[in-house]
Every structure is written in structure tokens, then in C-alpha cells.
Structure 1
């Protein structure tokens, strides 16, 4: 039977996936944890991402922002997430749900009307510069 040898950590094989991760416990001994269990530990310990802080996406979906009740509370630099609104955002929809999606180079605001109205979309740079003002799509039949 071959004798086990200690291997220095800087000599470990580099891998991109493994079922277990080896760890050092609080008492200095070694242990192993399943990758799926480690992910759960990190998920519980890390906050949910919001406009003000980095973190993980909530398991409840997009960040739910405040209700926009005054046009002064809405601008092109609003944080990513979902918002209810009870004021026309400049697209003809007096009430609805606003999805704000940020990409690396562009952001989109997608407004879904509550009741009558048209789906409205506008595109913005991360600086807040408007690229395309509200464009609407009407799904009603004549």
C-alpha cells in the first residue's frame, strides 16, 4: 500500500470544478465541504444586491424599488430593479410597472401599463444620457 505524502499547497493541481472544497476549521484542523453547501453558506452570508450595495440577486426576483408617485422621483439614472408608478413617466402610461435593466454600455427602461396603455421602452447610457426617448408598442386590436 502506497504511503500518503503531504503536498505543499502551491503544488496543488489547478482545477475548474470539484465536488468538494478543502477548508481549515476554526480549531486549525482540516475539513471538506460540498460545493453546493458552500454556495448556500455564501448566499446566506451575502446581502441582496440593491442600488446602494453589491450582493446577490434576491431569490424573490428583481430588487423592488419604491413606488414612483411624483415625476420628481424618476430620472434616467434610477437604479436597476422593478418599480410601481402612479404618475405618467413621460410615455402616456399613468400607472404601471417599470423595469430598469442596466447593461455594461446601455440601460433600458421598460414600462408595462396597468390597465389601458402601451408598452413603452427607452434606452440610456450609464451616464444618464438619453439615446432613445420613449417608444411605444400598442397591442390593442382595432
Structure 2
């Protein structure tokens, strides 16, 4: 999988962020298919209700192995109607979205977002992002990487 685009926009709406629902819009298009390789171009748009943040991630996913592997990757889960390849794509981009959300101080989607038909996160019981050790570590690592690239 190759991530070619990642964008996060924090929207200022003044809404209450205690309960956030994440909506996912997906565009997947078969770019090419050979005997042993399937290439899919994707774009995931993840937004929140209330409208607090929007993330977009796009790129190319490659499935190898032939027709059986292609069919298995494109087969949709009967409960969620989500293809397996989309779960794999989301697993690869989740960390990038999490780091971006931390940097722009916004809610981030859960790692299992595509496993449930609808996902609502109650943020009322969570500590603020700056108080959570895992958020601090992710933000520090991202900041150090950005600082090293600018030098």
C-alpha cells in the first residue's frame, strides 16, 4: 500500500465535542489487473458530526496472488458490507490519521471504525489529548521527525 495523500482540516464550529460520530466516504477504483497483481486507487474521507474535523487519505493498494486472492480481498463482510481490502487499507493509514489528529488537536477515529456499521465515540470520559501519555508520545515523535526534516 502506498499512501499518496493525507490531509486533516480542523473545522471551527463551536459545537460540543463530547459525542462525536465518524462518517466514512470511500472511493475505490480498479486501476489495473494482471494475472497476479491487482492495483486499486482509493480515497477515504472521514468527517465528524458535529462538524469538527475532516480527514482525507488517498493512495494505491496492491493485491498480489491471482484471482482467488483478488476475490478474497474484494469480498465484502456480510455484517458491515466492507471489503477486506478496505480494512487492510484503513489499518495502514490509521496511525498517520492518529498522528495528524494529535497535531491539529482534534478527535481521531477509532482503529476499528470499519468494523461497525456506525461508530460513535463518547469523548466526555476521556482525558484531554495533552494529558494522555500515548498522545504525548505520538505528538513528540511527530514533532521530532518534522524538526529533523526542517534542519
State whether TM-score is above 0.5: no
* More strand, by proportion: 2
TM-score, L = length of structure 1: 0.24
TM-score, L = length of structure 2: 0.23
Tell me: higher relative CO, structure 1 or 2? Use CA pairs within 8 A at least 6 residues apart. Answer: 2
